[in-house]
Amino acid sequence: MTNACDLARAFADLVRHRRGHLLGEWIRQAEGCDLRPIRSLANFLRQDFDAVTAGLTLSYSSGVVEGHVCRIKLLRRSVCGRASFALRRARILIPP
């Protein structure tokens, strides 16, 4: 259990401090862990290693876009069946 906690802390450190260059070493350590969920996570990360490394290294984020998509979906659900297209379009284009 101590090994699992150490691996979890190390992974949190990778994410928090954007240390994608250390991901390969973390995966090798996680594959040697006794707990199946941690080994499964390591195998999953290895499947798309380049994308995960880029996500942990680069400063680019799609958070702003995801926020706008969430807002548009919320507006769409709030007027579902009660508003015309013109009203929905106006509510989306006018910022809150």
Among 44-48, 55-59, 78-82, where is mean pLDDT lowest?
Answer: 78-82
What is the structure's pLDDT at 1?
77
Q: Which amino acid is at 39?
A: R
Alpha-carbon span 39 to 1, nearest angstrom: 14
What is the structure's pLDDT at 28?
94
The total domain count for the chain is 2
Q: Do 84 and 53 have their domain in common?
A: no
Name which of 3, 52, 1 is nearest 24 in CA terms.
52
Q: Do 33 and 8 have their domain in common?
A: yes
pLDDT at 88 over 80: yes
Residues spanned by the domain of 17: 2-57
Q: Do 14 and 53 have their domain in common?
A: yes
pTM of the predicted model as reported, rounded to 2 decimal places = 0.63
Q: Do 52 and 38 have their domain in common?
A: yes
What is the structure's pLDDT at 95?
74
